[in-house]
Amino acid sequence: MGEWAVITGAGDGIGKAYCFELARRGLNIAMISRTLEKLQKVATEIEQATGRKVKVIQADFTKDYVYEAIEESLQGLEIGILVNNVGMLHNPVPCRFLNGPDIAENLINCNVISVTKMTRIILKQMEPRQKGLILNLSSGLGTFPCPLYTLYSASKAYICTFSKALQAEYKKKGIIIQVVTPYGVSTPMTKYQKPNVIMKTAEEYVKESLEPASCSSFPYGYSTARDFKR
């Protein structure tokens, strides 16, 4: 598919786990996230553990002006996989729409615009090669209307619909576009709830999501991602 994987929201949680797992599977990693120090620390760990190349790109996805710089930073990389993982949850939760902070613009930029614009940037490169995987992280809360998580739920529903429609457009071009919908994963967003039968660690979840367990464009937790560098 290509020598590089691009992961957004790569500094911790599920994004960090994707970086490590894809590096172990032979890809070089381009990490994009807000906190430079965190990215640099994780990049060093990946390089030492896997021997793969790691590129660090600092970007705050709550802002809408970051994409030109991101695209320039990715110039010259043969990108086989994009993981649109970055996202944010309004705080406090649960809460009624009018009782929460007015962060609609930041949340939409981070959860909706980031997926749309990063997909456009990478898909332009994948289409001529007629191969690639775009993996979009939604949420179990995006599969049904979820009161008291209204903005978050709606933003994740967009990712589900966007991914499913885009796969219909590009399937015949050899590009796989899939969405995964995690429910319980122990990450900073879930305040590191203790893993159990239902609550998975980020590492467990990522390994399962990358198993070739489904050929569907809309799996609930799995993606088809075999022969990454082919």
Catalytic residue set: 152
Residue 117: other Cβ atoms inside 10 A = 18
Strands 175-180 and 132-137: parallel
What the block records as the tokens of 210 is 């990358």
Q: Distance (Å, rounded) from C-alpha 1 to C-alpha 26?
A: 11
> Any residues with CB less than 8 A from the CB of 114 and at least 6 apart, and which?
8, 61, 84, 86
Helix (H) or strand (E) holding 216: none
Residue 69: other Cβ atoms inside 10 A = 12
- Which residue do the tokens 């990693």 mark? 29
Amino acid occupying residue 58: Q
Contact between residue 5 and residue 27 where contact means Cβ atoms under 8 Å apart: yes
